[in-house]
Chains A and B, each alone.
Chain A
Amino acid sequence: DQQVKQNSPSLSVQEGRISILNCDYTNSMFDYFLWYKKYPAEGPTFLISISSIKDKNEDGRFTVFLNKSAKHLSLHIVPSQPGDSAVYFCAASDRFYNTNAGKSTFGDGTTLTVKP
């Protein structure tokens, strides 16, 4: 039973346009969500996060939207740049309220390709 799903394995976008990466989750106990970016042969790098008390968090070109009723979140990248080409992982945890929680549950990732 996969609790965090990224249904699109890949996404291709033209430079300068918007990239929208989607993520769905099933566990209603999740209260903290993160996006990571991963280049080949490197570890994931934290990108942006959002807690369940918010529905939007913005950091430069990156915005994460959370729809708790739909158990859905999305990452918007505007404008997209060729350097954004990477695998993007959505992750979720119940760490905010559970003091012993630490693990994050990851989706399988979406490979974003931004074409010049």
Chain B
Amino acid sequence: NAGVMQNPRHLVRRRGQEARLRCSPMKGHSHVYWYRQLPEEGLKFMVYLQKENIIDESGMPKERFSAEFPKEGPSILRIQQVVRGDSAAYFCASSSLSTGTADNEQFFGPGTRLTVL
């Protein structure tokens, strides 16, 4: 009964490179959320996706960041031309959202810690 899986767990990039973070949701979950946690801060929502659809990207920076959740395969959070301020822990969560029910908490992966040199 695998939980939410994220890889890599640690990622080091130099300024200007691209970072790709992967998230495989729990089995049976079709809703994926990405959050970012900067040092000494809480989790900030970035984007909410269902299969092949972006539902809410209100927390995504306007440039350099993109996310996808294809029909097959994991969800990908892509950061182009990384800068030092992108250094953070990126968490993915999944849920089996049911309409009108409250029993749909999000299950989090272990996170990817991105360090930009």
Contacts and interface: CB of A to CB of B under 8 A. Distances in A.
Interface of A: 6, 32, 34, 36, 41-46, 49, 51, 89, 91, 95-97, 99-109
Contacts of A105: 45
A34 B107 CA distance: 12
Nearest to B111: A43
B111 A103 contact: no
A46 B107 contact: yes
B44 interface: yes
Interface of B: 4, 6, 31, 33, 35, 41-45, 48, 55-56, 58-59, 91, 93, 95, 97, 99-102, 104-111
A56 to B, nearest CB: 15
A103 B48 contact: yes
Given A42-B111, A95-B97, 7 more contacts: A32-B102, A43-B93, A43-B110, A46-B105, A89-B42, A100-B56, A109-B42
Given A95-B97, A103-B59, A109-B42, A43 B104 contact: no
A89 B43 contact: yes
B56 A103 contact: yes
A88 B19 CA distance: 29
B102 to A, nearest CB: 4
Contacts of A34: 105
B55 to A, nearest CB: 6
Given A43-B111, A103-B33, A106-B35, A95 B45 contact: no
Nearest to B110: A43
